[in-house]
A and B are shown apart, each in its own frame.
Chain A
Amino acid sequence: MANARSQVPKKRGDVVFSGLVTASGIAILVTLSAVAIFLVVESLPAFNPTADIGNAPDGFWAYVTPLVFGTLLAAVLALIFATPLAIGIGLFISHYAPRRIASSLGYVVDLLAAIPSVVYGLWGIQVLAPTVQPIYQWLNENLGWFPPFAGPVSGTGRTILTVSFVLAIMILPIMSALAREIFLQTPKLNEEAALALGATRWEMIQLSVLPFARSGLLSSAMLGLGRAVGETMAVAMVLSPAAVITFALITPTNPSTIASTIALDFPEAAGLNVNALIAAGLVLFVITMAVNITARGIITRHARKVAF
């Protein structure tokens, strides 16, 4: 960009200004390390095996394991629902919809991202849960032999499956926006070459768009997973939680997630319970960081391959 550094003599304004912007860059560094340090310091008492934690009588790890399980289960289910939809929406906007309305359609999907999570929670519990409850009933009656659909069926529909539906809707905008951007970057010549060889539109997408987009889609899925793992309010409101590890998706006893447990228990917590909740938050932080760094790794590893 600006390679004129050597030509322009250093003025005082320059020194002050560059110091200022560098300082704010360093402020980011400091903030993030402060987040990590404060979380570790505040959660250390909870890791003490002899500590008497009210909400975790069997020690911290026995307390947090079902929560980690629930967090990952809900997030992975949400990802399974959202990924095909996001690819479909991305393709629709980039390759199927008429050029003139494509950007407006993209904006409609972006609107989903703008809606606050507490509103999703309210909608999930008041509208979605009662709507899907009869479907759960039906699934249990007809496919009850399949472990995830084992009974007893929740009477309210406030199950982990409903939660993962809501989470899927919430991560859909970011994933489909990324998918759309990636699909639009496909080299036009590759597409035209495929079409010139007589490929149908889907064959063209299979031959030129999808291979090009594979790594990008993978990392967008990881970013969506990261979002779903950290989502709090929608889960806290919709789920009727219990401390269990189970793959049954439609019963009234569901594994809770880390974030929702913190939100539900923190306002009333005191003493070591606070430390246990902060420690759970630290575990969540580590999980989301691992997911996000994996996503970044995929992007940078494949960025070199794409730039031929």
Chain B
Amino acid sequence: MAVANNRWFKNTRVTPSLIFGILLITFIVLVGILGPMLIDVKMARVGAVKPNLAPSVESYFGTDSQGRDVFTTLIMAISPTLRVGVISGLVSVMLGLALGLLSGFFGGWPDAIIRTFSDVLMAVPTLAFTILVVSRMDRPNIIVVALIVGLLTWAGTARGIRSQVLTIRERSYTAVARANGESEVEVLFREVMPNLLPLMMASFIGAITAGIGVVMALEVLGLGNNVIPTLGMMIFWSQRFSSVLRGMWWWWSPPIVTIAAIFIGLFFLSWGLDRFINPNIPVNLGRRRRLLKAEQMKAAASAQSTLATTQQAPDSQQTGVLQVKNLKVVYETARGVVKAVDDVSFTLQPGERMGLIGESGSGKTTMVTALMRLTRPPAYIADGQVLLDGKDLFLISDEELRKLRLKDIALMPQAAMNSLNPVIRVRPQIKDGFRVHGIKLSDKALDEKVTEVLRKVGLRPEVANRFPHQLSGGMKQRVAMAIAISLSPKLIIADEPTSALDVVVQKQVMLTLSRLQQELNAAVLLIGHDMGLITQFADSIGVLYAGKLVERGRVADVLGNPLHPYTRLLIDSLPNLEGKKELFGIPGLPPELLHLPTGCAFHPRCPFAMERCRQEIPTIQSPTTGFDVSSTRAPGAPGSPKSAERRQVACHLYPQNSRLPEIKSVTTSMLTYATSENQQ
């Protein structure tokens, strides 16, 4: 099945909102600026024309009760309205920027004072205060009004800028700049401010909107400057002369529609601008999603038809408790499609502990979510099957899958800090599991079960009454474990359960997990990057690199005789407590999944790379039978023929070779080969 093609996706962050906003605002601005030059402005003066006329050919929008031509007045009014909004917006943003920078960058006293003022301003009804001041002015000067509004509305911008500055200050590139000897002020201008640009633009548009809003409100209330017509004044006058009640709809509706258009335009402009600048918001995914969904449906349909012809054998011995076949999971990004999990297959026997090792970005967590069909956009399952005891998890209905979760297949999440609902206590979160899987017990019996399951993970019963934030990291991880084992599942998927914990707690958690696995005789798929930890726990391991499974086998076999160069280098990079040796890591960096090397993904970093490795992607397969796999075990050892079958590697060195040659040093010419030809 073809995976989604790069050609489809527009590499652009321009959204319909942005275009609409720009067009609308530009149109209005043009009308406001050019309009007065093209029409007879005298018609906007009081008494210029006959009053109270309905729209006609001579007077497009009719005339008002003061003898003005509404159309002309409208065109004349746009510019002052926008002007005052822009001025107050500018004042507000400039002030907000300055104070926010001061506050965030220098902290201490300036920060405290500025924050107090902005808190106060939040409690002050802007309109009311403006009314207070402006009502005392006979002829409110537009500039003064704009200034006052700006003075009252800087708080929001300042607050946003302050928190951005605080975040940016702590980022590494500012630390680097400081280390390079830049002064605080230089850091401010060169590092911090450019990163504030997105926030500034959004604030500016927001401030203009607020400015126009407040000034318009003032004018509608009658506090505007009576001489220069603005849109707000038009509404005020129309109200004054009861245009609504007198049915003179042509007087009050044009300014309202225009003002509404201005606000709508500004809204969409800021919405679209936000999406344009902020790289975190996904855009234009609708079309891609639909297209990929179509492919998925086709794949499911064809898989269904092949299933009808093959025999389903729910024999655990044959198929194992978990069988993953050709799993492919892709991510759609703005820059193209990323194959996070690329054609991965493996089998897990009941009660077996398997470790899956990979670096960050090798696709581990993506696989975990895919196994339980929890993949969320922008990740999509592109192909493959996941058989739990023979049942294809991708083909069953949502409801059936829901029933399987926790009961047959349970997840132990990574970083349980965020995996528990923060506003509910621990007890209901454990009881949840029992309740939704139809276990009808009395409250008391359920409470006992909760205590029992907590005891199994080594936690006291009182923990059940706490909120998650009251527990330490290790305790939270154990609560997650308790939930995972509560219904005695057949398969437990542990996604880096100890990555976020310190070493001592890691050991406790792993011992607990080990004990639980033995008690339940559940199969465990342990995922992580800590080779030492995983190999101590697991019976067999698999090694992931760039989304592909590159080696598979029993722990003793793989550790004693690693076949894939990557595995070998991984093992070699572990420090040895028993002696001194030169430590070298693996040269180069893991490949960027968007720009994978041709052929074998590992070849740029591989000490044994050949020409073939650059051209052809190796497939994972058993090495030949002449190959001595169980070199560390006596022949005839229990289960060895089957284990030999399950020894697999994806490398062009086999089956010609029987084992890896010695690696003398890793600073080979392969390195220059790697840097010049393959880094992009």
Q: Is B one of A's binding partners?
A: no
